């Protein structure tokens, strides 16, 4: 089987609370012809300083870590070039990351992205059905991908590598009707 020859971006967010507009970290990894060619990670000041204790336990980001960081509207222009000409955007549990992206863009008064999303959870279930579960850390471990779980940069890179390998084995998953 051959590499996926297209271009895609993998994205991951960490949020400060249960509201989707509360991104406190974002990362995007760009893949061209089966190779990671660029990546960007940024901490983001969310719209509220009250972080959910649950979220802090997950990613260990606190208000003091982001209070002097730029807001989403200020960092998003840095990320936009990574999406130019992509066939789709990959995310592990894509419905979450897509909803965070949409909410953050809406809150910033910016247009939403129109790219199709590929969910690497769904891809992993299709390609590796016998795994005990299809969480990011489980699939990454199975594939030998190093992971600093719940660090947006590491999670986006792992997602990209899962998509690269999954699409190598099941290239039809990237077909428009599968996304």
Q: What is the pLDDT of residues 69-101, one digit of tens each?
A: 999 999 999 999 999 999 999 999 999 999 999
For residue 178, name the pLDDT band (cuts at 50, 70, 90): low
Q: Does the pLDDT at position 1 exceed 60?
A: no
- Domain 7-172 fold is Nucleotidyltransferase; domain 5 (3.30.420)
What's the distance, CA 128 to chain centroid?
20
Residues 6+ apart with CB under 8 A from 144: none
- Predicted TM-score (pTM) of this structure: 0.94
Q: What is the pLDDT of residue 2?
A: 65
Average pLDDT in the 131-144 region?
98
Instruction: Note the pLDDT of residue 4.
Output: 81
Average pLDDT of the chain?
A: 94
Cα 58–59–65 angle (5° rounding)? Answer: 140
Query: Which pLDDT band, with edges at 50, 70 and 90, does 115 fall under?
Result: confident
Per-domain residue ranges of the chain: 7-172
**Neighbouring residues of 177: CB distance < 8 A, sequence distance ≥ 6:** none
């Amino acid at each position: 089987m051959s590499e996926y020859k297209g271009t895609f971006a993998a994205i991951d967010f960490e949020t400060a609370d249960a509201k989707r507009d509360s991104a406190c970290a974002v990362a995007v990894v760009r893949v061209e012809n089966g190779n990671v060619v660029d990546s960007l990670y940024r901490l983001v000041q969310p719209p509220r300083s009250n972080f959910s204790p649950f979220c802090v336990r997950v990613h260990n980001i606190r208000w003091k870590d982001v209070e002097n960081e730029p807001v989403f509207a200020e960092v998003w222009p840095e990320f936009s070039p990574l999406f130019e000409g992509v066939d789709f955007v990959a995310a592990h549990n894509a419905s979450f990351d897509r909803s965070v992206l949409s909410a953050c863009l809406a809150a910033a008064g910016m247009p939403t992205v129109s790219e199709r999303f590929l969910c690497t959870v769904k891809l992993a279930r299709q390609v590796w059905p016998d795994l005990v579960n299809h969480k990011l850390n489980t699939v990454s471990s199975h594939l030998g991908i190093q992971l600093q779980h719940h660090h947006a940069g590491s999670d986006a890179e792992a997602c990209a590598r899962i998509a690269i390998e999954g699409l190598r084995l099941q290239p039809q998953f990237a077909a428009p009707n599968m996304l």
